[in-house]
Amino acid sequence: MDAAKAGPLFCGGITVFNPLVQLDIKPTDKVGVIGIGGLGHLALQFADKWGCEVTAFTSDLSKTNELKAMGADHVVNSRSDSELEALKGKFDMILSTVNVSLNWRGYIDALAPKGHLHIVGATLDPIAVMSFQLIGNQKSLSGTATGGPAVVAKMLEFCARHNIETVTETYKMSQINEAFEHLESGKARYRIVLENDL
């Protein structure tokens, strides 16, 4: 594997691969991914190659063709309550990679019985959940960080087998200020890799 493409797998990659393993996601499952950035673009590829039907939830619909090329079967506006309502009861897992508050009740309603809303994005605000939303159909709200060495090894093997790569932009270390500006502008696609030129 190309080191520049493989490097981000050890952080963002394992963060979104680990839930597929820990939650025992099946190839026939329906998976949603909220937020298609540095984490989400890898989650799309993993879930697609896992065999799942994949829905990308994004606030930037201009990415639609790009997201479908990465493995999304469907693309939905992440901020549209009406589009979310139309998906009620569909998903076995929804993976949230965002750090903003959303219509969490709507996303829980979009879960199938025994479905998981799984958080890997560091949302700073509390997530309000009605207990009966979870109790009624045995749904769950969960989260994970990264994964242990054995899961990392599985992820690397999976990536090599399915030609999964991080989409990166490369900057020289001497351009680090430009790289940060590009990242903070929200225009980075999808991970930034720095090359040492000092």
101-131: b or e for each residue (b if 16 or more CB lie within 10 Å)?
A: ebebebbbbbbbeebbbbbbbeeeeebeeee
Q: Could you list the residue range(s) of the whole structural domain that residue 83 is in?
A: 3-143
Q: CA–CA separation, 123 vs 157, rounded Å?
A: 30
Q: CA–CA separation, 32 vs 126, rounded Å?
A: 21
pLDDT at 151: 97
Give the angle subtended at the CA of 17 by the CAs of 16 and 22, to the nearest 5°. 105
pLDDT tens by residue, 154-170: 999 999 999 999 999 99
Q: Structure pTM?
A: 0.94
Count of other CB atoms within 10 angstroms of residue 153: 11
pLDDT tens by residue, 113-155: 999 999 999 988 999 899 999 998 999 999 999 999 999 999 9
Q: Are residues 71 and 24 in the same domain?
A: yes
State how many domains the chain has: 2
pLDDT tens by residue, 52-105: 999 999 999 999 999 999 999 999 999 999 999 999 999 999 999 999 999 999
Q: Are residues 171 and 109 in the same domain?
A: no
Q: CA–CA separation, 63 vs 69, rounded Å?
A: 10
Tell me if 158 is assigned to some domain.
no
Q: Are residues 171 and 136 in the same domain?
A: no
